[in-house]
Structure 1
Amino acid sequence: MLRLLVADGNTPAGRHRIAESAGATPSESYANMLREIGVDAVVDICTPADVGAATPQPLDCYDGVAITGSSLNIYDRDMEALRQIDFVREVFARGIPMFGSCWGLQLAAVAAGGEVKLNPKGREVAVARKIALTEAGRAHPMHRDRAPVYDAPSIHSDVVTRLPQGAIVTAHNGLSAVQAAEIRMGEGVFWGVQYHPEYRLRDVAAMVRRYGQILVAEGFFASLVELERYADDLSLLDQDSRRRDIAWRLGLDDDIIDPLVRQIELSNWINNLIRRKSK
């Protein structure tokens, strides 16, 4: 049986705001998804952004740590971010395998000596298009069974601009030179992606509604009415993946619609942990 820990990257206010729109905090959604992938997994949650936060069990009890996205910007060096950097360095030091989505990738990169900045190419919203595996990525176990080029759920305006020494870029696209990477520090190994394999379509819809007028102002939607229509389509497709009319209209394929394809990197991480534990 695997024992996993999900670290929520958000502040208490951020978690509350997301739970109001999505029905659960990012860590709750992430934990539920990991339980679905690893049927026998016991999954705990921690909130390392919080003052005095502690893990439910000692860190060494966990076979792996997964890190959610966050609304924080790591270059602001707020205390909520600095506490998380310390947490990730501790996990690295203990040699516990990690996986991170979006903020998780940025956090691991900075903790190990890399750099994150605001993307001069702008925000990536709802779907990261034409992500391409690098030569290293095509051979990496994180991406086993992944097509050479694919789309993925996404929302971010920051990107990793400098990876730590020895890190391996495994995927990229036109908006981000680092869409996925392996990062090592001491005895620790981190696999991470700039996108969100854990997001269901309803999570993407909730995210679009939550950003609202910001996305209209940035030119992604002509109006809030158009934004709401897009979010409604995503919600309907989430309820019925056979809605070919919606999938065709939005340009979405199995890499977004089918959870077995969408969650490939996380499934591979879980399987890697199982093999590691069985040795």
Structure 2
Amino acid sequence: MSPIIIVVSSETPAQQNERRSYAGLASHESYAAALRRLRPGIELDAVSCLETGSLPDLARHDGIVFAGSPIQMHEDSAEARAAVRFMAQVFQAGVPAFGSCAGLQIAAVAAGGATGPRQPGAEVAFARDITRTEAGTRHPMLDGRPATWTAPAMHSSVVTRLPAGASSLAANPDTPIEAAEIRHGRGTFWGVQYHPELSLTEIAASTVHQSDDVIDQGLARDRRDVEAMAARLRDLDAAPTRVDIAWQLGLNAEIALFDRRMREIANFLNAVQAGALRPL
């Protein structure tokens, strides 16, 4: 029997519409589409952690998934405060949760950790050389991952300090926490700084949308360079076994193939179905 999952948005309505304009779907809608592809028949509900004062009825839900967004959790904004209040309720309820990118940052801050701007700048398109920590070598969220891998990514801030009761599971040279488990209150949260749920076509769209930032960071000479890379990404997404394109981009099957790209999310759903993440 498929689990019943809440998909949480932390985008404002304006941010949702902006993402729809260049990527086709808001972040929570994209996440829901990936979950349905991964688990046909899965039952999903949607809620915004910015617009609701309380959680929906959790009695019929098996887990909660947080989509990414441009929210900056190190800024004292109404959106950041609302996200923390929402996540605090999730921890108190004891419902297992998973988050990508901003989802990890929301959980970290809500449990007492901290976030800040990433140095030397945004992690664009890919998080490369993600490597397990000692704790990550035996953690079920990373089951099936090789020692080092590449994943879709698009973020300008990172978790700078994990809260008490948390474990860093993976890192790369420029991002100190790429994956983590956070235990707080009655809840268990698994999260990644990258985006397993994003297709290469979505990464291409986001990269083109942020062309100016990509060029300013010296990652491309001009917009033509960005668009050429985006075209190769779209081609690889359409034909994920094209080893020539993967080689040109420095990628492999861990990111090109849907089932392997979604491994952390699949492991979370498996753990939820097994009841492994519920409070004792």
Same fold (TM over 0.5): yes
Write the deviation string for residues 231-273 of structure 1: whole angstroms up to 9, x where unpaired: 1111111111233222111111011101111111000000001
The Cα of 1:53 is off from its aligned counterpart by: 6.4
Q: Distance in 1 between matches of 2:212 and 2:82?
A: 31
Q: Does 1:41 align with 2:11?
A: no
- Taking the TM superposition and a 5 Å limit, the aligned residue runs for 1:114-263 are 114-263=113-262
The Cα of 1:14 is off from its aligned counterpart by: 0.8
Partners of 2:63 and 2:97 within 8 A in 1: yes
Write the deviation string for residues 12-39 of structure 1: whole angstroms up to 9, x where unpaired: 1111111111111111110121122233
Give the 3-state SS of the residue equivalent to 2:275 in structure 1. helix
Read off the aligned partner of 1:154 and give its amino acid letter.
A
Scaled by the length of structure 1, the TM-score of the pair is 0.95
Q: Distance in 2 between matches of 1:30 and 1:11?
A: 16
Write the deviation string for residues 26-74 of structure 1: whole angstroms up to 9, x where unpaired: 1111012112223332011111223x4666x413331111001111211
Q: Tell me the percent identity.
A: 38
Partners of 1:69 and 1:102 within 8 A in 2: yes
Give the 3-state SS of the residue equivalent to 1:230 in structure 2. helix
Partners of 1:180 and 1:193 within 8 A in 2: yes
Which segments of 5 or more consecutive residues in structure 1 lack a partner in the other structure?
none
Q: Does 1:2 align with 2:3?
A: yes
Partners of 1:142 and 1:269 within 8 A in 2: yes
Give the 3-state SS of the residue equivalent to 1:221 in structure 2. coil
Read off the aligned partner of 1:46 and give its amino acid letter.
V
Partners of 1:126 and 1:208 within 8 A in 2: yes
Write the deviation string for residues 119-140 of structure 1: whole angstroms up to 9, x where unpaired: 2232211111100011111100
Q: Distance in 1 between matches of 2:260 and 2:74?
A: 33
Give the 3-state SS of the residue equivalent to 1:128 in structure 2. strand
Which segments of 5 or more consecutive residues in structure 2 lack a partner in the other structure?
none
RMSD: 1.7
Runs of 4+, deviation exceeding 3 Å? 52-55
Partners of 2:73 and 2:80 within 8 A in 1: yes
Q: Distance in 2 between matches of 1:242 and 1:193?
A: 25
Give the 3-state SS of the residue equivalent to 1:121 in structure 2. coil
Partners of 1:106 and 1:116 within 8 A in 2: yes
Partners of 2:208 and 2:230 within 8 A in 1: yes
